[in-house]
Amino acid sequence: MLKLKSLGAAGTVTGAKHLLEFDSHRILIDCGLFQGLKNLREQNWEPLPVPPRDIDAVILTHAHLDHSGYLPRLVRDGFRGKIYATEATRDVAELILKDSAFLQEKDADFLNQHHLSKHQPALPLYGIRDAQRALEHFTTVDFNEVIELRNGVSLQFRHAGHILGAANAEIQWGGTRMMFSGDIGRYGDPLFPDPVSGGNVDYIMVESTYGNRVHSDEDPAEALATVAERTIKRGGTLIIPAFAVGRAQELLYHFWKLKSAGRLGSVPIFLDSPMAIDATELMSRHSQHHRLDHETCRKAFGIARYTDDVEASKAITANPFPKIVISASGMATGGRVLHHLKTFGPDPKNTILLSGFQAMGTRGHALQQGAKELKIHGMWVPINAEVAQIGMLSAHADSNELMRWLSGFNEPKRVFIVHGEPDASEALRVRIKRELGWSSVVPRQDQEFQL
Ligand SMILES: [Zn+2]
């Protein structure tokens, strides 16, 4: 009997971990960190309901932290199997996991230095050594190739769009076919291929980040230009917290288009995130998995000045002239963008432009809700800058696109709706029932289903 249980991303958007069990063999689809609200983040510290050593393999749909960020802990706690991913996902995961480990270690050091933790000493969830060990467990699988795992599972990755290397995973085990969507990208995205769907499967697990939203069809470059031009006219600086992988490159592409069309004058653009710089380099290296050719990559990604070291980043902070700064992290939970928010947030001539999904409990979400001050590095910083949002840049399919992806399949026995806030998942469930007539369910965390 095949059993399915979601250990995360059930009723919430982070912590994706879906456990399949058959004849006392187990595989985990994705192995993400919980992010955002404290009660979610605390779950990263709780032991999994199944000991990591009892999991045979992990199948990783893509490298985003909320899908991959628990891997170092899984390995540290005894996982000995292989982690299957596309080659591009492995490369992106290397950036993301090392960065995550670095931040975990830095946070623990900060708490210890300032005696801010009730734990003595405060320990990181994992360190850089754990991230390196996790990377040694990776084995890469080509898109569209069907492989057999030792425990009788067959696996095929297909393009999901979304970010570099992202795949949906079709898994066949014990005569049952399942489709795990991972995160689904947008159709007609300028950078990434359209998500692929189709065929006969018994069960589908689908994400629902935007299950209750339809993205604006406004041209993203035009929307960016409007916000940038208004800010420049005020003599201000445009700060864009951006996910280092995917979003930062997409922004560069749109700014390159604008500059090529003679827009935005001579205002400089800075890419101030070492990880985004590395991710940009990976885009150039894996050009077969996105839509930009070498020449376009070279030109578009060459539009910005890259600030690799801290001194160059500090020079941006000190620079009073109009400029555009793209910096991570995308939800302002950490990284260099915090320094920019501290410097540029209090002045109304500047703009903070939110460019992606903002999970509850993050500074980005607070800004989205109109917060007038933010706590950064232990200090309250007043926010008088304009806060703008650009929804159409999302890396996630909207409700219509999720329906388009789903309707490519023949009717399955059941759809499992995960990776969404409860309202979003429920809205998608209602649409699936109404428009396709299919049976679907929004699983609770740790709820077990027999397939
Ligand atoms: Zn993702």
Say whether the peptide bond before residue 329 is cis (omega within 30 degrees of 0). yes
204 and 283 within one domain? no
Residue 392 has what pLDDT? 74
Ligand 1 centre and the CA of 192: distance in Å? Answer: 13
Per-position DSSP letters for 130-146, written without gaps between them:
HHHHHHHTEEE--BT-E
Of 342, 369, 389, the residue at which a domain comes to its end is 389
231 and 126 within one domain? no
Ligand 1 centre and the CA of 331: distance in Å? Answer: 13
78 and 136 within one domain? yes
- Residue 432 DSSP class: I
Ligand 1 centre and the CA of 205: distance in Å? Answer: 15
What is the rounded CA–CA span in Å between residue 373 and residue 159?
A: 41
Residue 112 has what pLDDT? 82
Ligand 1 centre and the CA of 35: distance in Å? Answer: 13
At position 425, the amino acid (one-letter code) is S
Residue 202 has what pLDDT? 98
Q: In 3D, which of 345, 314, 315, 354 has the Cα closest to residue 236?
A: 345
Ligand 1 centre and the CA of 262: distance in Å? Answer: 33
Residue 45's CB: how many other CB atoms inside 10 A? Answer: 10
254 and 119 within one domain? no
Say whether the peptide bond before residue 49 is cis (omega within 30 degrees of 0). no
Residue 103 has what pLDDT? 86
Global pTM value:
0.91
288 and 229 within one domain? yes
CATH code of 107's domain: 3.60.15.10
Burial of 379 (0-12, 13-18, 19+ CB in 10 A): exposed
Of 352, 367, 389, the residue at which a domain comes to its end is 389
439 and 328 within one domain? no
Ligand 1 centre and the CA of 263: distance in Å? Answer: 31
At position 105, the amino acid (one-letter code) is E
What is the rounded CA–CA span in Å between residue 164 and residue 115?
A: 40
CATH code of 279's domain: 3.40.50.10890
280: Cα within 13 Å, side-chain hemisphere? 30
Residue 37 has what pLDDT? 83
Ligand 1 centre and the CA of 155: distance in Å? Answer: 20
Give the position of tokens 């009717």: 411
103 and 68 within one domain? yes
Q: In the chain, which residues have pLDDT < 70? A: none
Ligand 1 centre and the CA of 61: distance in Å? Answer: 9
Ligand 1 centre and the CA of 64: distance in Å? Answer: 5
What is the rounded CA–CA span in Å between residue 105 and residue 108?
A: 5
198 and 308 within one domain? no
What does the longest C-alpha to C-alpha distance in the chain come to? 65
Q: What is the number of structural domains in the chain?
A: 2
Ligand 1 centre and the CA of 162: distance in Å? Answer: 7
User: And the tokens for 7?
Assistant: 């250990």
Ligand 1 centre and the CA of 126: distance in Å? Answer: 21
261 and 173 within one domain? no
231 and 96 within one domain? no
Ligand 1 centre and the CA of 62: distance in Å? Answer: 7
238 and 102 within one domain? no
363 and 334 within one domain? yes
Ligand 1 centre and the CA of 350: distance in Å? Answer: 29
Q: Which domain holds residue 326?
A: 220-389
SS3 assignment, position 199: strand
Residue 391 has what pLDDT? 73
